[in-house]
Amino acid sequence: MFEYQTVKNADSAEITEKKSRFTARVAPVSSERDALAFLNRIRASHREASHNVYAYILRENHIQRYSDDGEPSGTAGLPTLDAIRGAGLTDVCIVTTRYFGGTLLGAGGLARAYAKAAKLGVDAAGIVRRVLCYEYTVKTDYNLLGRIRNAAAALSCIAGEIAYTETVCANYFVPYTVLDFTEKITDAASGRVTVTKKDEGRYIDAD
């Protein structure tokens, strides 16, 4: 997977349906261990709740899991999972805590409530696209930095740190789709540049 969407931050959203309170807590996670730790923290903080429904999708082994946590089958965990799928997200865990308000919502009402809470939680957390990038170091003269910046921007590269010494040393995160970074930068600087690629790629927020 060279790029994917996930949530920017951990956040939450709450709705009330017929006096039942649904609080969807959303977090970015990178492993099943992270997802279960997030779930267990919420369970420990809300032991008195009627239900702590969860769903998560991970890049790790393409894992997708959910639980209705005592709600009627298919009315809670699956709508929560579908909210993650519908947003095109992965490496995300949602735990929705329900405090029962005394009025039954019915299967359809429950499914709509859990789906709505999950969607609002995702909206609150925000969505980010993460792209596999390779880090390059570009060393050049000060008067060529503007040309290099323009060339890198045209390739949708993400600027990193810049060190100013006798020369300029600029880091760029180059998306996996850009195969001619060195050539483009060298051309922009008329050959008066040194471009070095690091061995390993990493995911960078692109939005």
Alpha helices in the chain (DSSP H): 32-45, 77-86, 106-125, 145-154, 181-188
- Name the residue range of residue 93's domain: 3-125
- Do 121 and 170 have their domain in common? no
- 70 and 101, same domain (yes or no): yes
The domain that holds 22 is classified in CATH as 3.30.230.30
Q: What is the pLDDT along the chain (207 residues), one digit of tens a residue?
A: 799 999 999 999 999 999 999 999 999 999 999 999 999 999 999 999 999 999 999 999 999 999 999 999 999 999 999 999 999 999 999 999 999 999 999 999 999 999 999 999 999 999 999 999 999 999 999 999 999 999 999 999 999 999 999 899 999 999 999 999 999 999 999 999 999 998 788 999 986
C-alpha 56: how far from chain center: 12
Does one domain contain both 118 and 69? yes
Tell me: do 120 and 144 sit in the same domain.
no
CB 44 within 8 A of CB 168: no
First to last CA, the chain: 17
User: What confidence score (pLDDT) does residue 90 get?
Assistant: 98
What is the pTM (predicted TM-score) of this model? 0.86
**Is the domain of 142 the same as that of 113?**
no
119 and 170 belong to one structural domain: no
